């Protein structure tokens, strides 16, 4: 097949814009056979933003041929070819208009867009941007946004796609073709071409051993997996082998593996402290800053203890990212250097795993909400199934509505057939559970720890030793998971799963299947289903009425526009409810009664039908139906708890977004204090709990963190030990903290023009000095959006790009990628950028902290905790607000120095660190950088001196 790969640079993206450069690469028989490129003389001047993007100026195109001449050279090369482009809609549109304007016949061949094919064939690609894809494939792309370079790299990418088709199993290609059978587009045509090509090339498919129910899988049966040291003669840890002897073997292996291996004092200290806490059944709080190597600091003793004592050790992280980092980086390293074989398993929440039964049913029934989008996502997952060992959604990069598609095929407890399911032995969730059961160490996350408590410890294997990494989040996650919430859409979506319209939904699907049964019984069952529909309509009507009234309460009491993020928030107190609350209770009672009646009828129906049928397709529908009924009853119970507010130890509040109004309403009921629950379920129930983080201390003491976690009093050294490890970095040489002491202060919640003007001016001056490479941390979305346009304007002449969270993109990973790929950039971030952002090396030289990160005092949970502290004669500001802000501040500071070679400047624009009695808590909690305060005018010269100093 012959392909013509094209790319155009234009003066804009409207039909009235002109082409300024053409790039064309011809592929024949799998190799590049021709290239053509030319500038084109446009009829208008090239806009400045296009010049900046492409580097193409008016001078460069002044003597170029006109469009008609370029087309006369180019069009013969397109003959008998399928047109290929990256985002083909754009290039095909400009080709069509160009032909029309120049009097040529339009191109009438096939058009192929590389973007959906990349999604399908490379399911884990994290970006579909041309330069990012070329980097992922290791392809050179020296002049992005120039047509010849873009066409060349697109051609190389398309060749990779064709190669990938050749390596896919025959059944996978047939499955893809089947998915696009009824698709009239050129994509549908191409899939059929690939099927024919594959079938003619492959007579016997070597992949047949991986086939199961007409799908290609990359896994066998999970019950074939065996523990690490089951075989006779497998190395073991000797009964009398001390930890020191064992650890010496590891260090010997490390020295032979790494030529420049050096022991890290802080890491050594941590390893021994964790081992000691396990062997003496004691809890440990250990603060280990960046560079300590805390992952190995707890993994080595955890594995030693788990293997030697034959006990399961659980490691819990706050983020899925850290779970993946441990799986992909730390565990493989340890498997290389460990003296004995071991197994480490990663276990996530159930919804992260694909349910193969649901996926099979969805594809069989062509149950696509969005035909085009869902078909591509399904195809992407068909390819991914032939590669994945884990069936975990983190491995997939979803574009468009992919995440919505996943929600319909993710695993869940309520709709699981367990051993009755034909997919049971291939099931990814049960595989992960089995791996956890036979592993020495299980890596999970805080959310699942609390889900396990709610499930009466039925999810995780039994354990007595626990390591909690990112422990500064543990209390916050506990509040969230031990509480309850209900979003408007959650209840509506459950109703839609049951019944969307006469053809779609679990109940219509069941009715269709019942038509084939015995007439009398089928008629009775059908009547039961029909009787449920009016009740579901009434629930939807009452729910709409209730959420509209609740939204009115929220909006009336949020005259100032709500929180910084724009959310409207209203706390409700049982003793001071709005006057009309009793009428709302009547609506809730109606919802409760209707849901209860639906539950009774459908549960009885499911029981009767299960006794009558063992047909898999019907059993499958019944299982999903049963799951939806349970979800409906759960929503009913959460709503009742919220509306009646029976527990005085809970905090109740409403949240909504002004834009989506009642459709965005969410109700919350969260325990005020979870410390006693943490104590009960962890510190009293487990032999040893190790809590670690880079930020556990405030003012060099663990008191605040300990009180939040239920570990008070800390005086009991028999049971709890605290250790603060010295950082391996030389902060005095690597980091300079500058505080402009004459900087304007912010009065009240919002910044005035004086502060904003001074901030833009100073940030621009500093950014020019550091040539971008700057991260600016805000506590307010509003302020970030106020600063962004003017700072962008100020820095444009210096060629420094300004990227804003929620302005240029809401995706944190994408913004960080953009920041790292552009050497001269300033990145403005709020909440999620204060931690977990890792930009080592010269990409980040300057960190600016605009305001100290205090939580809004009017957030319902903060407000309720403050009231509780006042009742106990404590000052909420010093007992809660300051310590919370200090820990966040330390996290923010930690973004600058990520390796021993990093060097940079932190500018703090909040003069409260100098002017208030609590300000010293922030500076005193830092790991020993050089701190100076000076006038705003002296900032840039001091940064210049510091960056120029050789030895700090």
Does residue 952 surpass a pLDDT of 50?
no
Taking residues 19-37, report their average pLDDT: 95
Binned at pLDDT 50, 70 and 90, residue 466 comes out as very high
The whole-number average pLDDT for the span 165-174 is 93
Of 241-245, 250-254, 698-702, 807-811, which gets the smallest average pLDDT? Answer: 807-811
* Unique residue bearing structure tokens 């609506």: 587
Percent of the chain with pLDDT over 70: 96
Q: What is the pLDDT of residue 561?
A: 43
pLDDT digits (tens, 9 = 90+) for 275-322: 999 999 999 999 998 888 899 999 999 999 999 988 999 999 998 888
Here the tokens at position 769 are: 């000095």
Q: Please tell me the predicted confidence (pLDDT) of residue 560.
A: 45
pLDDT tens-digit map of 911-935: 999 999 999 999 999 998 999 999 9
Q: How far is CA 81 from the centre of its chain?
A: 40
Angle at 275 between CA 269 and CA 277, to 5 degrees: 100
Q: What is the pLDDT of residue 923?
A: 93
Biggest alpha carbon–alpha carbon distance for the chain: 91
In the three-class reduction of DSSP (H, G, I as helix; E, B as strand; rest coil), residue 518 is classed as: coil
pLDDT at 715: 61
% of the chain exceeding 90 in pLDDT: 65
Average pLDDT value over all residues in the chain: 90
> Which is more confidently placed, 137 or 843?
137
Across 236-308, the runs of DSSP E, i.e. the strands, are: 283-287
Helix (H, G, I), strand (E, B) or coil at 233: coil
Angle between helices 371-385 and 402-409 (to 10 degrees): 60
Q: Is the pLDDT reported for residue 176 higher than 70?
A: yes
Which of 115-124, 344-353, 735-744, 831-840 has the weakest average pLDDT? 831-840
Q: Which of 75, 83, 91 is nearest to 109 (CA)?
A: 83
The bridge status of strand 666-671 relative to strand 650-656 is antiparallel
Q: What is the pLDDT of residue 117?
A: 97
Give the tens place of pLDDT for each residue, 31-63: 999 999 999 999 999 988 888 888 899 999 999
Question: Which tens digit of pLDDT belongs to each residue from 617-675?
Answer: 677 888 889 999 999 999 999 999 999 999 999 999 999 988 888 999 999 999 999 99
Q: Of 619-628, 673-682, 761-770, 816-825, which range is least confident?
A: 816-825
Amino acid 225: pLDDT: 83
DSSP for 112-169, please give it.
EEHHHHHHHHSTT-S--SHHHHHHHTT---SSTT-HHHHHHHHHHHHHHHHHHHHHS-
CA angle, residues 370, 371, 372, in degrees to nearest 5: 100
pLDDT of amino acid 142? 81
CB 847 within 8 A of CB 892: yes
Helical ranges in 839-925 per DSSP H: 860-871, 876, 882-893, 912-915, 919-924
- Give the helix/strand (H/E) hosting 264: none
pLDDT, tens only, 514-553:
876 667 777 888 889 999 999 999 999 999 999 999 999 9
pLDDT at 359: 96
Q: What is the pTM of this model?
A: 0.88
CA dist 214 and 175 (Å) reads 8
* pLDDT the model gives residue 232: 66
Q: What is the pLDDT of residues 854-877, one digit of tens each?
A: 988 888 999 999 999 999 999 999
- What is the pLDDT, as a whole number, of residue 951? 45
Cα(491)–Cα(316) distance, rounded to whole angstroms? 31
Dist CA 537 CA 533 (whole Å): 6
Q: Is the peptide bond before 411 cis (omega within 30 degrees of 0)?
A: no
Strand partners, 720: 283
Minimal CA–CA distance to 665: which of 488, 822, 526? Answer: 488
Q: What is the pLDDT of residue 445?
A: 94
pLDDT of 818 > 90? The answer is no
Bridge partner residues of 112 (DSSP): 84
- Non-local (6+) Cβ contacts of 703 within 8 A are 714
Kindly compute the dihedral angle of the four CA atoms of residues 208, 368, 508, 636, in this order, to the nearest 10 degrees.
110
Helices (H), 168-258: 170-179, 186-201, 243-257
- 470-483 pLDDT, tens per residue? 999 999 999 989 99
| CB-CB contact of 908 with 931 (8 Å) | no
pLDDT score, position 714: 65
CA separation for the pair 619, 625 (Å, rounded) = 10
Cα 930 to Cα 466, 698, 927, 933, 945, distances in angstroms: 37, 19, 10, 10, 14
Dump pLDDT digits (tens) for 691-717.
Answer: 999 999 998 899 999 999 988 766 666
Please write the tens of the pLDDT for every residue from 403-439: 889 999 999 988 888 998 999 999 999 999 999 999 9
Q: How many angstroms separate the Cα of 629 from the Cα of each of 527, 601, 634?
A: 18, 10, 9
Q: Are 642 and 488 in contact (CB under 8 A)?
A: no
- Residue 263: is its pLDDT beyond 50? yes
Q: Provide the sign of the torsion angle of the four alpha carbons 361, 365, 367, 368, taken in this order.
A: positive
| Average pLDDT rounded to a whole number, residues 546-564 | 76
SS3 percent helix, strand, coil of the chain, rounded to 5, is 50, 15, 35
pLDDT(143) > 60: yes
Q: What is the structure's pLDDT at 521?
A: 76
pLDDT digits (tens, 9 = 90+) for 481-523: 999 999 999 999 999 989 887 777 889 888 888 876 667 777 8
- Using DSSP's 3-state secondary structure scheme, residue 244 falls into helix
Report the pLDDT value the prediction gives residue 855, as an integer from 0 to 100: 86
pLDDT of residue 267: 92
Higher pLDDT, 229 or 450: 450
Q: Which residues contact 657 (CB under 8 A, 6 or more apart)?
A: 566, 567, 568, 664
């Amino acid at each position: 097949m012959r392909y013509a790969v094209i790319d155009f640079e234009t003066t804009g993206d409207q039909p009235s814009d002109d082409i300024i450069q053409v790039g064309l690469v011809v592929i024949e028989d799998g190799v590049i056979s021709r290239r053509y490129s030319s500038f084109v003389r446009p009829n208008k001047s090239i806009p400045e933003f296009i010049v900046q993007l492409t580097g193409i100026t008016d001078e460069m195109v002044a003597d170029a041929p006109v469009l008609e001449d370029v087309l006369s050279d180019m069009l013969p090369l397109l003959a008998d070819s399928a047109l290929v482009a990256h985002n083909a809609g754009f290039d095909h549109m400009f080709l069509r208009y160009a032909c029309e304007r120049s009097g040529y016949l339009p191109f009438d061949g096939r058009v192929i867009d590389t973007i959906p094919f990349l999604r399908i064939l490379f399911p884990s690609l994290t970006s579909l941007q041309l330069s990012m894809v070329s980097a992922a494939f290791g392809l050179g792309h020296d002049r992005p946004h120039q047509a010849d370079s873009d066409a060349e790299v697109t051609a190389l990418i398309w060749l990779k796609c064709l190669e990938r088709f050749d390596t896919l199993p025959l059944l996978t290609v047939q499955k893809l073709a089947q998915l696009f059978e009824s698709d009239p587009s050129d994509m549908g045509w191409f899939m059929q071409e690939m099927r024919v090509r594959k079938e003619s090339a492959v007579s016997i498919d070597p992949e047949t051993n991986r086939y199961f129910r007409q799908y290609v899988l990359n896994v066998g049966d999970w019950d074939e997996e065996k523990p690490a040291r089951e075989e006779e003669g497998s190395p073991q840890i000797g009964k009398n082998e001390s930890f020191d002897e064992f650890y010496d073997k590891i260090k010997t292996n490390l020295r032979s593996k790494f030529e420049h291996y050096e022991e890290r004092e802080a890491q050594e200290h941590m390893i021994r402290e964790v081992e000691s806490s396990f062997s003496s059944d004691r809890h440990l709080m250990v603060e280990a800053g960046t560079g300590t190597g805390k992952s190995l600091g707890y993994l080595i003793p955890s594995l030693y203890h788990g293997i030697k004592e034959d006990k399961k050790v659980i490691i819990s992280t706050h983020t899925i990212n850290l779970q993946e980092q441990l799986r992909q980086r730390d565990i493989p390293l340890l498997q290389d250097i460990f003296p004995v074989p071991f197994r480490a398993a990663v276990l996530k929440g159930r919804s992260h795993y694909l349910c193969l039964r649901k996926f099979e049913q969805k594809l069989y029934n062509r149950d696509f909400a969005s035909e085009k989008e869902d078909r591509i996502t399904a195809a992407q997952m068909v390819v991914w199934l032939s590669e994945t060992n884990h069936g975990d959604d983190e491995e997939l990069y979803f574009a468009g509505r992919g995440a919505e598609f996943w929600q319909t095929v993710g695993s869940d407890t309520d709709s699981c057939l367990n051993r009755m399911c034909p997919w049971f032995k291939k099931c990814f969730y049960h595989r992960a559970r089995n791996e956890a059961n036979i592993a020495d160490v299980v890596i999970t996350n805080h959310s699942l720890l609390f889900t396990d408590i709610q499930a009466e410890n039925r999810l995780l294997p039994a354990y007595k030793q626990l390591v909690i990494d990112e422990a500064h989040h543990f209390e916050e996650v506990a509040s969230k998971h031990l509480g309850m919430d209900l979003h408007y859409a959650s209840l509506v979506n459950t109703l839609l799963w049951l019944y969307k319209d006469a053809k779609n939904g679990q109940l219509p699907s069941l009715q269709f299947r019942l038509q084939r049964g015995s007439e009398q019984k089928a008629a009775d069952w059908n009547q039961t289903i029909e009787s449920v529909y009016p009740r579901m309509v009434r629930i939807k009507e009452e729910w709409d009425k209730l959420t509209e009234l609740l939204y009115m309460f929220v909006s009336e009491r949020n005259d100032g526009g709500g929180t910084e993020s724009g959310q409207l928030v209203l706390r409700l107190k049982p003793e001071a409810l709005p006057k009309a609350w009793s009428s709302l209770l009547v609506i809730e009672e109606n919802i409760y009664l209707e849901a209860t009646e639906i539950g009774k009828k459908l549960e009885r129906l499911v029981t009767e039908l299960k006794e009558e049928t063992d047909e898999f397709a019907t059993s499958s529908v019944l299982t999903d139906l049963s799951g939806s009924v349970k979800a409906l009853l759960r929503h009913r119970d959460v709503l009742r708890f919220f509306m009646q507010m029976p527990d005085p130890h809970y905090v109740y509040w409403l949240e909504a977004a002004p834009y989506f109004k009642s459709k965005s309403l969410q109700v919350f009921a969260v325990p005020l204090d979870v410390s006693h629950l943490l104590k009960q379920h962890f510190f009293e129930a487990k032999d040893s709990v190790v809590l670690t983080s880079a930020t556990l201390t405030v003012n060099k003491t663990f008191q605040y963190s300990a009180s939040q976690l239920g570990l008070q009093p800390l005086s009991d050294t028999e049971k709890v030990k605290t250790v603060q490890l010295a950082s391996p970095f030389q902060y005095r040489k690597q980091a300079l903290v500058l505080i402009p002491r004459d900087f304007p202060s912010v009065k009240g919640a919002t910044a005035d023009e004086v502060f904003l003007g001074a901030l833009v001016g100073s940030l621009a001056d500093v950014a020019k000095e550091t040539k971008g490479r700057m991260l600016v941390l805000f506590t307010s979305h509003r302020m970030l959006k106020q600063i962004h346009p003017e700072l962008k304007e100020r820095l444009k002449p210096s060629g420094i790009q300004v990227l804003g969270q929620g302005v240029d993109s809401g995706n944190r990973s994408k913004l960080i990628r953009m920041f790292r790929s552009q050497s001269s950039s300033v990145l403005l971030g709020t909440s999620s950028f204060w931690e977990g952002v890792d930009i080592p090396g010269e990409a980040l030289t300057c960190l600016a902290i605009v305001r100290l990160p205090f939580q809004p005092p009017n957030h319902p949970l903060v407000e309720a905790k403050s009231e509780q502290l006042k009742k106990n004669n404590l000052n909420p500001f010093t007992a809660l607000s300051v310590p919370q802000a200090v820990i966040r501040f330390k996290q923010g500071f930690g973004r600058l120095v990520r390796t021993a070679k990093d060097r940079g400047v932190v500018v703090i624009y909040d003069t409260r660190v100098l002017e208030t009695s609590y300000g010293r808590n922030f500076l005193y909690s830092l790991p020993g950088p050089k701190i100076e305060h000076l006038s705003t005018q002296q900032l840039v010269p001091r940064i210049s001196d510091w960056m120029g100093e050789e030895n700090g």
